[in-house]
Amino acid sequence: MKNFFYCFFIAALAVSCGTNPYKKSEKIYDSKLKTLEGTIANKDPQTLPVIAHVTLNIDTLYTKQLHTYKDTLFKMGPTPLQNGLSTEWIGTVNFNLRKPNFIIIHHTAQDSIQQTIRTFTKTETQVSSHYVIGEDGKVVQMLNDYLRAWHAGNGSWGKNTDINSSSIGIELDNNGSEVFTEVQINSLLALLTKLKKDHNIPVQNIIGHADIAPTRKKDPSIFFPWKILAENGFGVWPDEFLVTAPADFNAEQGLRIIGYDTKNLAAAVTAFKLHFMQNEVNGIIDELTKNTIYSIYKKQ
């Protein structure tokens, strides 16, 4: 019996002094984390059609913010809990960065791209976007695609109520009362081509700020060429020849299935028309509106 306890003690001591059984997975975790850190820290220029160079003052707050998130990501020690216990760290090997699934298009409602950049580089404004496109076609990237910008605010699309966490925001330099320039739209199309390919964004998930926040927003304005975008594979558009919606088709339900929040139905209809029926932007559901909603509903 004495020999049994002696052997048991030696075996227990060997296990307690042995190597970490999770050492291999921790090594993989660390390796993946470093790879992802490199991805989100990358600020290399993206390949787009050749455009004129724009010189900007880079706010060092961006770098400070990035280090804050990096330090948070790399924190792997135990964390004390209120009940007196502490968490134990065992890193998983199955994780990645967030996947953007939407692209939200805005107009800046400001007077120049420089003004917008100043807005996005001041902490007190609490607003940002991934990209800003100037009237002259210049494209400025302000945040890595995999990080969360603050561009959408309160809004929803379908069951998604946190649009910022699943979207890329693109701001077009436009005050909301002017036609968008040809070179600006061409740069947008080039950028959308890249983003759609990089992140496999569904066609119907390229929408406007007004679509996700119909009671608050009207951008990217009545002048935005949604039809041109749809013709190039970015978003959907009603059929040229509309079929009559079935007699039992519920237009409000159709809007909800498309993605609109219909708690304020008139606002939802107005946002729909701002996108798809720019010749008559109002909150009225007439026969043409019902048939147009049905056309988009069938494309979901």
Q: How is the chain split among helix, strand and coil, in percent rounded to 5?
A: 40, 10, 50
| 141 three-class SS | strand
Which residue from 60, 62, 169, 172 is spatially nearest to 116, judged by alpha carbons? 172
DSSP 86: B
Q: Which residues of 218-242 are buried (b: 16+ CB within 10 A; e: fewer)?
A: bbbbeebebebbbeeebbbbbeeee
Catalytic residue status for 171: yes
Q: How far apart are CA 56 and CA 45, in angstroms?
A: 14
Q: How far apart are CA 186 and CA 229, in angstroms?
A: 10
For residue 206, list its beta bridge partners.
103
Q: How far apart are CA 36 and CA 45, in angstroms?
A: 18
Which residue from 151, 129, 150 is spatially nearest to 140, judged by alpha carbons? 129
Q: Which candidate in 171, 231, 252, 280 is catalytic?
A: 171
Residues tagged active-site: 171
